[in-house]
């Protein structure tokens, strides 16, 4: 169980965060100098070098978004120019990509962050540049919203697996619908039928809360509150829910911890946004219930230092006695940890704690960040292109690099883990410095 450090204060992390951004700068520049973009977007490292895994190019926005966050944190214009120029040159296909559920990853991380910096007066105001970023966000939100499967009393944005598939990951993509809505946009279809993007996002989140999250009551009385299914399967002809499933987790009846983390962060940040929408206040109770259930489950089912193993039901954990009562061990012979899940989850914990005014969640998030800023998780090797070590991508598919002599993968990084620890670090740094609270919707305030 996560042992929450209630005495830890944000300002105590100022020194480690300064070192973190110095290390982060070197990683970004190393990739810019040595990675061949003709391979496709960098996804994860193999023996310390970023490589790709052709699937949906869902990590490209994290690559360029990382440079933008680096500028935000340090003021170094080198990184602003990398992020700005690469967004202009490479991100347009992601705006109109009809085949993925990842718009909230790729385009909020790039166009959204650049627009936010302009709104915060961190970069010079330029009317046409602002329109460029806003148009990208508008179109991206509508494109994402068009991937729609209707079900009884609502619907969901379906994953790249097809119209039957509801991924928990997509909670974070709802951000793009909300930005598009706040910018005055909507989805227009056949016969000019108009779809309200805010309502569509809420319907998707409600489906996620109802089907991907368990509560230990009602239809879930056999299960544990807060457990999270990576994927839910529906009959697309009648809209009925059929079964939980997992693509990257061990099974539909265990919890893939990165999927859990996506839910934690997604519900927490959408709560922050919907609290600013008077028409959405009626939805806050069920969202708070889902956010608290997932965060409580994470706290109860994560080792004492806050870094989880890749799935709470991973089969070989049965041989790892007392693993929840001690710090995580990425070098163990049983199952890999997933530091990327920890980076995502920690931000969700901090945001929920701040939203609810509950110290438990906020302090839990700080505790996880404190762990991630130290060895063995932060990469101090200048030749290793990754920043956050011991991340895992797809254990069932065997994609992750396993060092010789080891039974499990360890020692590698991934682009979403590196991006999200930067986002987490920036969130806490702004709290330390009494700067504007970092949210995805600062760009449309």
CATH number for the domain harbouring residue 119: 1.50.10.10
Average pLDDT, the chain: 97
Domain assignment of residue 137, yes or no: yes
In a domain, 284, yes or no: yes
For residues 147 and 3, give the distance between their C-alpha atoms in angstroms, rounded to a whole number.
41
**In this model, does residue 101 exceed pLDDT 90?**
yes
Cβ 94 vs Cβ 140: under 8 Å: yes
For residue 66, pLDDT beyond 90: yes
Cβ neighbours around 26 below 10 Å, total: 17
Q: What is the pLDDT at residue 279?
A: 86
Backbone angles phi, psi at 307, to 5 degrees: -105, 120
Tokens representing 181?
């809505």
CA of 432: how far to CAs of 67, 295, 347, 418, 426, in Å?
Answer: 21, 23, 15, 21, 10
Gap between the Cα atoms of 42 and 60, Å rounded: 7
d(CA 148, CA 142): 11
**Domain span holding position 401:** 10-444
In a domain, 4, yes or no: no
Q: How far apart are CA 150 and CA 239, in angstroms?
A: 6
Q: Which of 213, 189, 212 is nearest to 200 (CA)?
A: 189
For range 352-377, the mean pLDDT:
97
Residue 219 scores a pLDDT above 90: no
Q: Compute how many other C-beta atoms are within 10 angstroms of the C-beta atom of residue 14.
A: 13
Least confident of 198-202, 218-222, 364-368: 218-222
Among 266, 311, 309, 273, which residue's Cα sits nearest to residue 291? 266
Q: How confident is the model at residue 442 (pLDDT cuts 50, 70, 90)?
A: very high
Question: What mean pLDDT comes out for the span 72-99?
Answer: 97
pLDDT over threshold 90, residue 100: yes
CA distance 205 to 218: 20
Task: Find all residues with CB under 8 Å of 61, minimum gap 6, and list them.
Answer: 91, 94, 105, 106, 107, 108, 109, 110
- Cα 429 to chain centroid distance, Å, stands at 19
pLDDT for position 7:
98
Q: What whole-number percentage of the chain has pLDDT above 90?
A: 97
**Strand bridging mode 231-234 / 165-167:** antiparallel
How many whole angstroms separate alpha carbon 370 and alpha carbon 17?
A: 10
Domain count, the chain: 1
- Residues 185, 95: contact at Cβ < 8 Å? no
Task: Give one DSSP letter per residue of 164-206, joined into a string.
Answer: TEEEGGGGGGHHHHHHHHHTT--EE-GGG-EE-HHHHHHHHHH
Q: Is 149 helix (H, G, I), strand (E, B) or coil?
A: strand
Unique residue bearing structure tokens 């990590």:
59
Task: Look at residue 422 and tell me if it is in a domain.
Answer: yes
**53 assigned to some structural domain:** yes
Assigned domain for 1 exists: no
In a domain, 429, yes or no: yes
CB atoms inside a 10 Å sphere around CB 315: 12
User: Counting Cβ atoms within 10 Å, is residue 379 exposed (0-12), middle (13-18) or buried (19+)?
Assistant: buried
Q: Is residue 3 part of a domain?
A: no
pLDDT digits (tens, 9 = 90+) for 303-330: 999 999 999 999 999 999 999 999 999 9
Strand partners, 421: none
pLDDT digits (tens, 9 = 90+) for 254-302: 999 999 999 999 999 999 999 999 989 999 999 999 999 999 999 999 9
């Amino acid at each position: 169980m996560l042992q929450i450090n209630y005495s830890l204060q944000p300002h105590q992390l100022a020194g480690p965060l300064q070192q973190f951004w110095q290390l982060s700068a070197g990683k970004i520049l190393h990739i810019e100098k040595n990675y061949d973009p003709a391979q496709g977007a960098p996804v994860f490292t193999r023996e310390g070098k970023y490589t790709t895994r052709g699937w949906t190019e869902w990590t490209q926005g994290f690559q360029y978004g990382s440079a933008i966050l680096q500028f935000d944190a340090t003021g170094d214009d080198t990184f602003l120019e990398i992020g700005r120029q690469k967004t202009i040159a490479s991100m347009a296909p992601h705006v109109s990509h009809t085949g993925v559920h990842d718009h909230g990853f790729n385009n909020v991380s790039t166009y959204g962050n650049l627009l936010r910096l302009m709104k915060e007066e961190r970069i010079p105001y330029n009317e046409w540049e602002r329109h460029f970023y806003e148009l990208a966000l508008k179109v991206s939100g509508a494109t994402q919203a068009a991937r729609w499967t209707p079900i009884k009393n609502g619907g969901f944005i379906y994953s790249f697996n097809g119209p039957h598939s509801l991924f928990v990951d997509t909670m974070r993509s709802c951000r793009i619908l909300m930005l598009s809505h706040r910018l005055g946009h909507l989805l227009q279809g056949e016969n000019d039928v108009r779809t309200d993007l805010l309502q569509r996002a809420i319907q998707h989140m409600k489906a996620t809360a109802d089907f991907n999250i368990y509560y230990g009551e009602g239809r879930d009385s056999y299960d544990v509150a807060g457990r999270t299914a990576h994927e839910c399967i529906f009959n697309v002809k009648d809209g009925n829910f059929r079964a939980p499933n997992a693509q990257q987790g061990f099974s539909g009846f265990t919890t893939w911890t990165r999927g859990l983390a996506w839910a934690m962060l997604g519900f927490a940040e959408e709560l922050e946004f919907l609290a600013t929408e008077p028409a959405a206040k009626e939805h806050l109770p069920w969202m708070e219930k889902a956010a608290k259930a997932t965060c409580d489950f994470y706290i109860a089912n994560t080792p004492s230092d806050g870094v989880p193993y890749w799935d709470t039901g991973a089969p070989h954990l049965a041989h790892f006695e007392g693993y929840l009562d001690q710090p995580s061990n990425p070098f163990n012979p049983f199952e890999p940890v997933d530091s990327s899940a920890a980076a995502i989850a920690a931000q969700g914990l901090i945001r929920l704690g701040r939203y609810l005014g509950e110290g438990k969640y906020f302090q839990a998030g700080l505790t996880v960040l404190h762990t991630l800023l130290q060895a063995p998780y932060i990469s101090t090797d200048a030749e290793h292109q990754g920043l956050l070590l011991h991340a895992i991508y797809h254990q069932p598919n065997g994609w992750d690099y396993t060092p010789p002599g080891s039974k499990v993968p360890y020692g590698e990084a991934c682009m979403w883990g590196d991006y999200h620890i930067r986002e987490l670090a920036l969130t806490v740094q702004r709290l330390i410095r009494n700067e504007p609270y970092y949210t995805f919707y600062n760009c449309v305030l």
